[in-house]
Amino acid sequence: MGDHRVDATAEYQRPPAEVRFADELERLRDADTGPRPPGWALSLTAARTFITGDDALGVRRKFVGDTALIDRALVTLATSRGLMLIGEPGTAKSLLSELVAAAVSGTSTLTIQGGAATTEDQIKYSWNYALLVSEGPSTRSLVPAPLLTGMAEGKVVRFEEITRCPLEVQDSLLSPLSDRVLAIPELTGDDSMVFARDGFNVIATANTRDRGVNEMSAALKRRFNFETVFPIGDLATELELVEQEASRLLERSGVAVAPRRDVLEVLVTTFRELRDATTEDGRAMDRLSAVMSTAEAVSVAHQIGVRGWFLRGEAGGAADIVECLAGTAAKDSPEDLARLRRYLEQQASRRDGEQWRALHAARRLLPG
Amino acid sequence: MAVTFVGVRHHSPACARLVRDTIRRLRPAYVLVEGPADFNGRMDELLLGHEPPVAIYSYHRDAERVHASWTPFCAYSPEWVALTEGRAAGAEPRFIDLPAWHPAFADRGNRYADAELRYAEVAERLCREFAVDNTDVLWDHLFEIDTDDTARRLDAYFGLLRGEAEAGEDDAARESYMAGWIRAAEADAGDRPVVVVTGGFHKPALETLAGSGGTVWPDVPEPPEGSTGGSFLVPYSFRRLDAFTGYQSGMPSPEYYQRLWEGGPEEAASALIETVVARLRERRQVVSTADLIAARTLTDGLTRLRGHRAPARTDLLDGLVSALVNDDLDQRLPWTSWGRLAPGAHPAVVEMVAALGGTRVGRLHRDTPAPPLVHDATAELERLGLDRGGPVALTLTTPRGLERSRALHRMRVLAIPGVERRSGPATGADPVLEERWVVDVSDDGGRRMSALIEAGAYGPTLAAAAAAVLDERMTSAGRDMGGLADVLFDAALCGCADQSGRIAESIAAGIAGASDLAALGAVLEVALGLWRHDRVLGTARSPLLGTVVAEGVDRVLWLVEGVRGGPGPADLGRLRAVAAARDALVHASGPLGLDRDAALGVARRVAARTDVPPDLRGAAFGLGRALGDTADPVRAVRGAAGPETFGDWLAGLFALARQEVLDPATAILGVLDDLVGGMGDDDFLVALPALRQAFEFFPPRERETIALGLLERRGTRGSPRALLRTDGPPLLIAEARALEARVDRALHAAGLEATS
Question: How do strand A224-228 and strand A82-87 relate by DSSP bridges?
Answer: parallel
Same domain for B448 and B377, yes or no, is yes
Q: Per the domain annotation, does B246 fall within a domain? A: no
**Structure confidence by residue, pLDDT tens digits, B145-173:** 888 888 899 988 888 887 766 677 888 88
Q: Give the per-residue pLDDT at B249.
A: 47
B561 interface with A at CB cutoff 8 Å: yes
- Note whether B601 contacts A345, CB cutoff 8 Å: yes
| pLDDT of residue B110 exceeding 50 | yes
Same domain for B536 and B585, yes or no, is no
Sign of CA dihedral B143, B247, B69, B505: positive
Pairwise CA distance, residues A360 & A321, whole Å: 11
Same domain for B40 and B18, yes or no, is yes
Q: Give the per-residue pLDDT at A331.
A: 66
Residues within 8 A of B (CB atoms), A 86-115 only: 86-87
**Structure confidence by residue, pLDDT tens digits, A25-73:** 999 999 999 899 999 999 999 999 999 998 888 998 898 888 899 999 9
Whether the Cβ atoms of residue B244 and residue B355 lie closer than 8 Å to each other: no
Whether the Cβ atoms of residue A245 and residue A234 lie closer than 8 Å to each other: no
| pLDDT of residue B339 exceeding 70 | no
Domain boundary, last residue among B540, B562, B584: B562
Pairwise CA distance, residues B489 & B498, whole Å: 12
Same domain for B677 and B733, yes or no, is no
For residue A49, what is the nearest residue in chain B, using CA coordinates?
Answer: B131
Whether the Cβ atoms of residue B258 and residue B395 lie closer than 8 Å to each other: no
Pairwise CA distance, residues A220 & A214, whole Å: 11
Chain B residues near residue A103 by CB distance under 8 angstroms: none
Identify the burial level of A294 via C-beta atoms within 10 angstroms of its C-beta, where 0-12 means exposed, 13-18 middle and 19 or more buried.
buried
Q: Which of B328, B332, B333 sits opposite A213 (nearest CB)?
A: B328
Q: Which of B445, B438, B458, B437 is nearest to B377 (CA)?
A: B458
Report how far apart, in Å, the C-alpha atoms of A179 and of each of A123, A159, B103, B293, B659 are. Answer: 17, 18, 67, 17, 79
A235 interface with B at CB cutoff 8 Å: no
A14 secondary structure, DSSP code: S
Whether the Cβ atoms of residue A94 and residue A161 lie closer than 8 Å to each other: no
Which residues face B32 on adjacent strands? B94, B196
Pairwise CA distance, residues B391 & A149, whole Å: 87
**Structure confidence by residue, pLDDT tens digits, B58-76:** 888 776 666 777 888 999 9
Same domain for B712 and B733, yes or no, is no
Same domain for B172 and B198, yes or no, is yes
CB neighbours (10 Å) of residue B664?
11
Q: Give the per-residue pLDDT at B389.
A: 85
pTM for the predicted model, two decimal places: 0.80
Q: What CATH superfamily classification does A17-228 receive? A: P-loop containing nucleotide triphosphate hydrolases (3.40.50.300)
**Structure confidence by residue, pLDDT tens digits, B651-695:** 898 888 887 777 777 777 888 888 888 888 788 888 888 888 888
Q: Give the per-residue pLDDT at B23.
A: 96
Same domain for B610 and B705, yes or no, is yes
Same domain for B486 and B421, yes or no, is yes
Q: In which domain, by residue range, is B285 found?
A: 254-357
Pairwise CA distance, residues B414 & B409, whole Å: 8
For A87-126, letters b (16+ CB in 10 Å) and e give bbbbbbbbbbbbbbbbbbbbbbbbbbebeeebeeebbbbb
Which residues face B665 on adjacent strands? none
Report how far apart, in Å, the C-alpha atoms of A197 and of each of A123, A138, A172, A191 are. Answer: 17, 21, 19, 15
Q: Give the per-residue pLDDT at B265.
A: 92
Q: Give the per-residue pLDDT at B430.
A: 65
Q: Give the per-residue pLDDT at B5.
A: 94
CB neighbours (10 Å) of residue B130?
13
Same domain for B398 and B317, yes or no, is no
End-to-end alpha carbon distance in chain A: 56
Same domain for B165 and B77, yes or no, is yes
A192 interface with B at CB cutoff 8 Å: no
Residues of chain A with pLDDT under 70: 1-10, 211, 329-331, 368
Which residues face A159 on adjacent strands? A112, A204
For residue A45, what is the nearest residue in chain B, using CA coordinates?
Answer: B305
Question: How do strand B54-61 and strand B228-235 relate by DSSP bridges?
Answer: antiparallel
Give the neighbor-by-neighbor strand order of the sheet with B228-235. Answer: B66-73, B54-61, B228-235
Compute the count of residue pairs across chains A and B with CB atoms less than 8 Å apart.
108
For residue A73, what is the nearest residue in chain B, using CA coordinates?
Answer: B322
- Note whether A48 contacts B305, CB cutoff 8 Å: yes
Mean pLDDT rounded to a whole number for chain B: 85
Pairwise CA distance, residues B292 & B53, whole Å: 32
Q: Per the domain annotation, does B244 fall within a domain? A: no
Whether the Cβ atoms of residue B358 and residue B255 lie closer than 8 Å to each other: yes
A278 secondary structure, DSSP code: B
Domain boundary, last residue among B562, B591, B609: B562
For residue A215, what is the nearest residue in chain B, using CA coordinates?
Answer: B327
Whether the Cβ atoms of residue B647 and residue B687 lie closer than 8 Å to each other: yes
Q: Per the domain annotation, does B186 fall within a domain? A: yes
Q: Which of A137, A135, A287 is nearest to A209 (CA)?
A: A287
A284 secondary structure, DSSP code: B
- Domain total for chain B? 5
User: Where does the pLDDT of residue B412 fall: very low under 50, low under 70, confident under 90, or very high at 90 and above?
Assistant: very high
B558 interface with A at CB cutoff 8 Å: yes
